[in-house]
Amino acid sequence: MRDVAIIGIGQTPVAEHWEIALRDLAVQAVQAALLDAQVERPQMLFVGNMLSAVLSGQQNLGALVADHAGLRGIEAFKVEAACASGAAAARIAYLAVAGGACEVALACGVEKMTDGGPDEATAALAGAADAEYEAEHGLSFVAINALLMQRYMHEYGYEHDDFAPFAINAHQNAAANPNAMFPRPITREQYLRARPIATPITLLDSSGIGDGAAAVVLASAEFAARLGGPLVRVAASAAATDAVALHDRREPLFLQGMSDSAQRAYAQAGITPADLDFFELHDAFTIMSALSLEACGFAPRGKGVALALDGEITRQGRLPICTLGGLKARGHPVGASGVYQIVEAVQQLRGQAGPNQLPGCRLGMAQSIGGSGANVITHILERVS
């Protein structure tokens, strides 16, 4: 396997894009990424998406996006791994370049969630869970995370209020991100007053439903070196799975797939968690942030929330997370989120994160989760000087 670099990034704002179709959202992100990379035509395109078949009645996104982006003829197809679809597309693009199948590959994550009503979107999202033995019982995806949160609070003795720092941090960081869906700080009082969706999870524990697309251009290190300019190397790309249904896991509160995925990434990059300057984690729900910090080795079991309560997850803390708003406040267009995370990590490493810039950062991790921990894809990116 050879070295791979990210040479271009593009993204649309996450919003309710009533005037922009699924295909056009993807094209906007693709064109922005190609322009940024100064590349006209990648050899391969992988489109990460979860819900297009259900909410837009559209499949075959590889060919559709390639055609509409002016890339008709290239190899292109859709990659699906529930909410981690975008990260999965990026990983396939990485494998294609690292394995020598092509010099330049494009990964685009796109999701159009507002073409269905909120209850349709909720039902479609439950497809990330076990359709026959979780969703069939009326469990929304929120409810599945709520079962984790309730048990976590019971086992480790936390109150719901203790999760507030995750939501507050995400919204604080989104405030300066022009692509964020909820660019407004929230107060602890607002967090405490939010209405419950599936107890104990409230609206402000949850990421919102929105539309968006993000894209990255990956190239071999030799190709990237010829371009000059800032270079961001893919130090690791790793993936792991766990049981899809929560009830099929031995220890529901320890996300084994997340731990395996992170450990594989650390080994590939030759680093330990302490070497990372920031972590774009999958904060679809506040409980997922806590479980991520624990499974990835930043906190012992039951102490992920404590890390947040100690202020260590803010941009001034020991391990800044969700530095441009995360899924919670940048927004979570599910199949696109994994690519947004990588785009934002590249922004930080290039020094293009605006008011949210982490000074001198060199090593960042982005981790995307499909389902309640069933499919976990981790990328570690490094600024090469």
Partner 1 sequence: MSIPSYWRSRQQRLALVGEVCPTCEAKLFPPRDVCPHCGGPAKTRFDFCGRGAIYSFSQVNAAPAGFEAYAPYMVALVALDEGPLLTAQLTDVDPEDVYIGMPVEMVTRQMRQEGEQGLIHYNYKFRPLLERVQG
Which residues here bind partner 1, judged by CB under 8 A?
A: 117-120, 122-123, 126, 130-140, 142-143, 146-148, 150-151, 154, 195-201, 243, 245-248, 252
Compute the distance between CA of residue 89 and CA of residue 78 in angstroms, rounded to an integer. 8
Active site residue: 17, 332, 361, 379, which one? 332
- The b-or-e profile of 2-21 (16+ CB within 10 A means b, else e) is eebbbbbbbbbbbbebeebe
Report in angstroms how near the CB of residue 141 gets to partner 1 at its nearest: 9
Report in angstroms how near the CB of residue 129 gets to partner 1 at its nearest: 9
Nearer to partner 1, 227 or 243 (CB): 243
Q: Is 361 a catalytic residue?
A: no
Report in angstroms how near the CB of residue 199 gets to partner 1 at its nearest: 4
> Is residue 111 within 8 Å of residue 212, measured between CB atoms?
yes
Nearer to partner 1, 127 or 351 (CB): 127
Report in angstroms how near the CB of residue 209 gets to partner 1 at its nearest: 11
For 35, the 3-state DSSP assignment is helix
Two structure tokens written together for 71: 């890339």
Report in angstroms how near the CB of residue 372 gets to partner 1 at its nearest: 11
Nearer to partner 1, 26 or 201 (CB): 201
Active site residue: 17, 83, 108, 322, which one? 83
Q: Is 160 a catalytic residue?
A: no
Output DSSP code: residue 249: -
Distance from the first to the final alpha carbon of the chain: 22
Cα 358 to the center of its chain, rounded Å? 19
Nearer to partner 1, 141 or 191 (CB): 141
Nearer to partner 1, 195 or 226 (CB): 195
DSSP letter string, 251-288? -TTS-HHHHHHHHHHHHHHT--GGG-SEEE---SBHHH
The answer for residues whose C-beta is within 8 angstroms of residue 124's C-beta and 6 or more apart is: 51, 54, 55, 116
Tell me the catalytic residues: 83, 332
